[in-house]
Structure 1
Amino acid sequence: MKGGVRKFGAADRRLLPEGRLSGPMPWVIAIMMFLTVLAAAAGLGLGSAATGLDADIGNRLTVQIVEANPDARERQSAAALAALRQTPGVLAATRVSDQQMAALLEPWLGPGGIGQDIPIPALIDVELGPGTTGNSVRDAVRAAAPDARVDDNAQWLAPLAKLIDALQLLAAALVLLMVGALAATVVLAARAALDTHRSTIEVLHLMGATDVQVARLFQRRIALDALFGGVTGFVAAALVLAVIGRRLGALGSDLLGSAGLPILSWLLLLVLPFAGVLLAVLVARVTILKALGRLL
């Protein structure tokens, strides 16, 4: 480049006016970071919900003894319970008590809605070990209790698991789209800044500045814009997530409650604004150096 190479300090940086909050770029970045954090939080929350569902009910079976005769029902229940406890792969088998059954049916039948003359199926909750399928357990139960019905939770959870996987892919695609939009915004902002300060850049070159030194001046401005926008968008998204989390917790649903964000997920979300700043700086550097190379 022209002239001798020297270091440029704060006085030289003032040749490019800061005005970092006067333009639209920080607010555009804030909006994109807001959407990025929400999409990433949705993906992480869905992953947490899928893990919780699989741990809580994905490895369980429910055995129902549907028999109107109470004596036959109790006899088959005892036989099914004994067969389950002897079946390989069954970690635990527990009979649901009549009091628990009454509590489960109370929201639909009301207090005291279960009379002595209403036959209630006997329920057995079964916990399976890793790698154990419901087919072997089903055969053992039906051999001991012909009127038994075996409900495999993993079967009716499969469509829900596929839906969660699809939503996670959608959330990941949205995050990637936001990253691409952020990079495109930085490219446009860097080119606009170069066009606006073209005469200043020529003066800096005459003073002995290299392309790398000029690029650093613009990188600093863009980094400040990206930091302000990233932090603002993250804070706004965190407030929205906190409100949504409280509303979900108030519902008292195990399924929705399992979609909460653990500490590790919050730490990953906290990285996003700083990753955005790093991306903005790298994109700005490449864009500016290429543009300066074409100018000279």
Structure 2
Amino acid sequence: MFKFFVIPAHDRRLIPEGRLSGPMPWVIAIMIFLTVLAAAAGLAMTQAMIDVSDELSSKATVQIIEANPQTRSRQAGVAAERLRSLPLIKEVRVLPSEEIEALMEPWLGTQDIADNIPLPALIDLKLVRVATEAEYQSLRDTLQSIAPEVRVEPSSSYIAPVVSLVRSFQWIAFGLVGLLALATAAAVIIAARSALNTHRETIAVVHLLGGTDQQISRLFQRRIALDALFGGLIGLIGGILIIWLISSQLTALGSGLVQSVGLNWWSWLIIVTIPILGMFLAMVTAKLTVTGALKKIL
């Protein structure tokens, strides 16, 4: 697989190699830098959606809508006792009115909310497992005999628009990774053709001396692969620094949803392999480009 790295020195001297000269390594570095950032964003959003889904998929909220506060409080108490007896329910918590008012303050203010607006009674449920829609409907039917105006909703439904938006950003990030891979391949094609044009006379002499297209192709592959690996490592280091800076700023915000946006070990493993994948992409692209061009030279 790496046989082009052990080409004998006398063969490598046939086509002089610049030591990280020209724009090729730096173009690759920029491409890998942007790829690392896009991949990190996509992987972080994927992990955030998994964490949020795992946390909310086994939770639900019961709303009891009743204008009379005494009736509402009685219905909430009876409903809570009934829910605790069900095998699907692991934990039941009736939210006190003070906590409900605190939740409504950002939208309705702090001036005697409960006296002006009949707020519903809220019951938080923690389920033993993820419930199906049929099981949620069974919970609604069970509670309607206690409170006719009752609603039972999975907690995940409340953030469904946010999840949809994050999923769109995730696909955009992965789409950028694909576009950057195409741009990297295009840059390699341009560099390979430029190198062929520069050494056209040398290639012709090598052909006359019995050199094969495969031997010449390996020389160009080695040169472009080394440039791509060097540029990829530079881009990886720059990308990791930016990721570290952004993650430290997100951590300082202290928001639970923001703090869930992170990278686990397998995400980092994917990110650190990006330069290697970039090198293989450059190597394959260079081989196809050089081999195709050499067939047309002679």
Both proteins in one fold, TM over 0.5: yes
* 1:153-210 deviation line (CA, Å, top 9, x unaligned): 2333332332233222222221111111111111111111010011221232334322
Task: Give the direction of change, closer, same or farther, for the CA distance of 1:171–1:117 in structure 2 (3 Å limit).
Answer: closer
Specify the SS of the correspondent of 2:47: helix
Specify the SS of the correspondent of 1:22: coil
Distance 1:125 1:154 in 2: 13
In structure 2, the residue matched to 1:3 is none
> Where do 1:155-234 residues align within 5 Å?
155-234=157-236
- Residue 38 of structure 1 deviates from its aligned partner by 1.3
* Structure 1, 23-32 or 113-122: larger mean CA deviation: 113-122
- Residue 76 of structure 1 deviates from its aligned partner by 1.8
Q: State yes or no: 1:123 paired with 2:144.
A: no
> Where do 1:221-260 residues align within 5 Å?
221-260=223-262
Distance 1:148 1:96 in 2: 15
Q: Which amino acid aligns with 2:294?
A: L
Distance 1:140 1:20 in 2: 76
The 8 Å contact of residues 31 and 184 in structure 2, kept in 1 or not, is answered as yes
Distance 2:259 2:238 in 1: 22
In structure 2, the residue matched to 1:85 is 84
**Gapped regions of structure 2 (runs ≥ 5):** 1-5
Distance 2:158 2:101 in 1: 25
CA RMSD after TM alignment:
2.9
The 8 Å contact of residues 32 and 236 in structure 2, kept in 1 or not, is answered as yes
Instruction: With the length of structure 1 as denominator, give the TM-score of the two structures.
Output: 0.84
Specify the SS of the correspondent of 2:262: coil
* Structure 1, 218-227 or 150-159: larger mean CA deviation: 150-159
* Structure 1, 275-284 or 76-85: larger mean CA deviation: 76-85
> Where do 1:1-296 residues align within 5 Å?
9-65=8-64, 71-87=70-86, 89-96=88-95, 122-128=121-127, 129-133=129-133, 134-146=136-148, 148-296=150-298
* Structure 1, 93-102 or 130-139: larger mean CA deviation: 93-102
The 8 Å contact of residues 49 and 163 in structure 2, kept in 1 or not, is answered as yes
* 1:38-89 deviation line (CA, Å, top 9, x unaligned): 1111111111111111111233222244567665444222211122223453
**Gapped regions of structure 1 (runs ≥ 5):** 1-6
Distance 1:136 1:46 in 2: 34
Distance 1:56 1:209 in 2: 64
Specify the SS of the correspondent of 2:62: strand
Distance 2:148 2:293 in 1: 80
Q: Which amino acid aligns with 1:12?
A: D
- Residue 214 of structure 1 deviates from its aligned partner by 1.0
Task: Give the direction of change, closer, same or farther, for the CA distance of 1:116–1:177 in structure 2 (3 Å limit).
Answer: closer
* 1:120-176 deviation line (CA, Å, top 9, x unaligned): 754321123324333332332232234544443233333233223322222222111
- Residue 212 of structure 1 deviates from its aligned partner by 0.9
The 8 Å contact of residues 83 and 144 in structure 1, kept in 2 or not, is answered as no
Distance 2:71 2:57 in 1: 30
- Residue 113 of structure 1 deviates from its aligned partner by 9.0
The 8 Å contact of residues 101 and 114 in structure 2, kept in 1 or not, is answered as no
* Structure 1, 145-154 or 227-236: larger mean CA deviation: 145-154
Q: Which amino acid aligns with 2:167?
A: D
* 1:81-101 deviation line (CA, Å, top 9, x unaligned): 122223453333223457866
* Structure 1, 185-194 or 86-95: larger mean CA deviation: 86-95
The 8 Å contact of residues 64 and 149 in structure 1, kept in 2 or not, is answered as yes
Instruction: With the length of structure 2 as denominator, give the TM-score of the two structures.
Output: 0.84
The 8 Å contact of residues 30 and 233 in structure 1, kept in 2 or not, is answered as yes
- Percentage of identical aligned residues: 48
